[in-house]
Amino acid sequence: MPAGRLSVVVTRRLPEVVETRMKELFDVDLRDPDEKMSRDELADAMRRADVLVPCLNDQIDAGLLGQAGDKLKLIANYGAGVDHIDVATARQRGILVSNTPGVMTEDTADMALALMLSVTRRIPEGLAEMQAGEWRGWSPMAHLGGRVGGRRLGILGMGRIGQAVARRARAFGMQIHYHNRKRLRPEVEAELEATYWESLDQMVSRMDIISVNCPHTPSTFHLMNARRLKLMKPTAVIVNTSRGEVIDENALTRGLRAGEIAGAGLDVFEHGHEINPRLRELPNVVLLPHMGSATVEGRIEMGEKVIINIKTFADGHRPPDQVLPGML
């Protein structure tokens, strides 16, 4: 660890209060204008910084880490997911990686429920009609959606966010079901009134709504593949506020267009901001620009965690949110 104030490079603009505190504590290079760094800019930042603060769309692979030199000692990620960082290679090179877990749990769960309601109650269609000035008054058969109360909700991934989704869904009268790598403790299941399914196939085929809340790992890539999507009931909808790579986007698009799936609410996409254009055309799909964690409070808390990780490292200790290979 270098003596004196750490040199910190931040790849995107952060809330003003976070940037101000960073400037007080470190020799910080803030990003201006607020644009994604190119690969060359990232490589340069990694050569001159003691600490890099990247975001989820900064791809830090083995090749980039190989250009880092010996100065970089900590990658303090601004976000919980680290699938964009080659953690194993970083560790081999003596570079620690930290993240900001737990901060966006409630915000993301809120968005999952918002998407469920938006799709099942056809909110975007009504909004578009109103904004276009095309509403001609109330009609008994217009804008008919469906109740969420009484529906079976299948949660794929029952970690912090999945459990937060379950708590909210119970308040709406939904029946809670889940599939997870490990079964929850009996007392947690009882609190959530949740039914565990060891077989994901069996759960998917019986649910009215599927909520994807698991991280992207090699084992979850296309976990909802073409075969599994075909198991869904034609009246069912799927919501994803986790990682786009968990769902085969092309297969989902085909299923939605063919009427094999009733609807989808997506805040994340398989190829980042490059969305299947056929998906945009569908009236039974709600698409959001990865804004599940986009609250002022959440962004500030994420920044505070980054600062704590860097400050703890500067004081000669392991960052409290250090990520090890295979942890997520």
Q: Could you tell me the pTM of the whole model?
A: 0.90
Can you spell out the DSSP letters for 159-200?
SHHHHHHHHHHHHTTPEEEEE-SSPPPHHHHHHHTEEE-S-H
Place of tokens 């409290």: 320
pLDDT for residue 4: 72
pLDDT for residue 326: 66
Helix (H, G, I), strand (E, B) or coil at 99: coil
- One fold for 7-103+295-314 and 105-287: yes
Q: Cα torsion at 62, 68, 69, 70 (round to 10°)? A: -90
Q: What does the domain layout of the chain look like in residue ranges?
A: 7-103+295-314, 105-287
What is the CATH topology of the domain spanning 7-103+295-314?
Answer: Rossmann fold (3.40.50)
- Take residue 63 and report the two structure tokens written for it: 């090749």
Contacts of 191 (CB under 8 A, 6+ apart): none
- Take residue 278 and report the two structure tokens written for it: 């056929």
pLDDT for residue 2: 54
pLDDT for residue 327: 59
Beta strands in the chain (DSSP E): 7-10, 27-29, 51-53, 74-76, 96-98, 152-156, 175-179, 194-196, 209-212, 237-240, 263-266, 285-287
Distances (CA, A) of 32 to 29, 57, 83: 9, 17, 25
- Mean pLDDT of successive 10-residue stretches along the chain, which has 328 residues: 81 96 96 92 96 96 93 96 94 96 95 98 94 95 95 97 98 98 97 98 98 93 98 98 96 97 97 92 95 96 98 96 80
pLDDT for residue 33: 87
Architecture (CATH level 2) of domain 105-287: 3-Layer(aba) Sandwich (3.40)
| Residue 314, burial from CB neighbour count under 10 angstroms (0-12, 13-18, 19+) | buried
